[in-house]
Structure formats: C-alpha cells, structure tokens
Chains A and B, each alone.
Chain A
Amino acid sequence: MTKKPKVYALSTCPYCKRTRRFLDEHKVAYDCIEVDLLDDDEQDKALEEVQKLTGRSSFPVVIIGDEIIVGHDEERLKKALKL
C-alpha cells in the first residue's frame, strides 16, 4: 500500500478547489494542508516544504508517490492515480 496522496492548497484559490473536488469525486483519500489557514510557524514550515518540493510557491501541489503535480492538472492526476 502506497502512502496517501498529499495536497498543499490555499483556501482562497479556485484551482486548489478544483483539484480537491476532482479527488473527492474519484473517491481518492488524501491529506490536505490549507497553507493559508495555518498558524504562522506552521505556515512557514509548509511554505518551505512546498519550495523544497517544487522550487517555487505555486498552488495546488499534489504529491502522489514520487510524482509532484503543481497546478490543477486532471490528466496528470488521472495518470498518477491510475484512474
């Protein structure tokens, strides 16, 4: 069993919402971090993680196994999740 997908999102961003909706609709269980709603320290930590993973701070970021998907991209999500 592989690890649950992880999503870094902003609560205010329409594309993050679309990605989450897509995962929900396909009944994919995932962990979601809403970066903008975290407390200062945790927010800094999350932003650092995103920076380290992607080299920038664009959202959403979806991590599926070794795959890192930046932005809402249904084709890549399907492929990575074998849907």
Chain B
Amino acid sequence: MTVHEIERVFCPVCLAKFKFAEGWKEGDLVICPICGQKLKLARGAEGWVGERPEKGTEKEIRERSEEFARLRGYVFGDVKEEIIEGLMGKYKRFGDFYCPCRMNHTPEYQCPCKPTRGGDVEKNGRCYCWFFLKKT
C-alpha cells in the first residue's frame, strides 16, 4: 500500500514549497505561485526542487517581477527600469537579486522581498522601493 502525500516543490528563491500540480513532470517549466520565479522541475534527494534556468540574468529578474505583479494584480512604479538596473548591480556585487534600496543581503530580501510577499503592497499601497504598486 502506498501513502499518498501531497507533493510539493521547493522554490530556491522564496525558500517556500508550493503544491505539485497533476500532470507535471521532470524538466517542465513552472512558475512559483509565491514569488513568480520560473523554475525547471527536478527531483532532488528530498523531493521536488525547482532550478533557476536563467539564474542571474536580466531576463530572469524581469520575468520574475512581471510574473509576481501578474499573480498579485500589481502594477509597476515609474522607477521600474532603475530598480531592474539596481537589482543587476546587487547580483553582480552580492550574488543575488537583493532589494536595491536596502543593505540586507539575506534570502528574505531577495526581490520580491518577504515583506512584499507577505502583503506590504496591500497594506501600504506599495513595496519599500515603490517598485510594485497596488492598482488604483
């Protein structure tokens, strides 16, 4: 007899696990519903993990932000392009896409940062950087 547990996929960006949908298979490209990152499904020792197919590229952070905005129904502030440029600078110097307006280089502050993933935009109408805005 097998026990059917809900399978989950680990996202290396937001460090959360989301539900593995029916029909998915190894190598498929899926979007993390929490942060918007595009992930390639792989089987790790501890279960499903998502890999970042375009890690560190402008394409990756642009697509992630756009997917995140789409998932949440947010729009971008007029600093969008400057923020993308700042995120590229963070990657170059600190190794990942950390919030360009802060000096916190921990996974919590990977863009979209934890406060933003946790609903800061609903609360304040915007994220810390005015990158993601609530639709008015």
Contacts and interface: CB of A to CB of B under 8 A. Distances in A.
Contacts of A36: 93-94, 103
Interface stretch (A9-17, A23-31, A73-81): A9-17
Contacts of A37: 93
B103 A14 contact: no
Interface residues of B, number: 15
Contacts of B83: 14
A35 B93 CA distance: 12
A59 B93 CA distance: 18
Interface residues of A, number: 13
Contact of B86 (A14, A47, A57): A14
B102 A57 contact: yes
Interface in B57-107: 79, 82-83, 85-87, 89-90, 93-94, 100-103
Contact of B103 (A15, A17, A47): A47
Contacts, number: 37
A37 to B, nearest CB: 8
Nearest to B78: A14
B85 to A, nearest CB: 8
Contact of A13 (B93, B94, B101): B101
Nearest to A14: B82
Contacts of B79: 14-15
Contacts of B90: 12
A33 to B, nearest CB: 12
A35 B86 CA distance: 14
A13 B87 CA distance: 9
Contact of A11 (B87, B89, B129): B89
Contacts of B85: 12
Given A11-B89, A12-B87, A12-B90, A35 B82 contact: no
Contacts of A14: 79, 82-83, 86, 100-101, 129
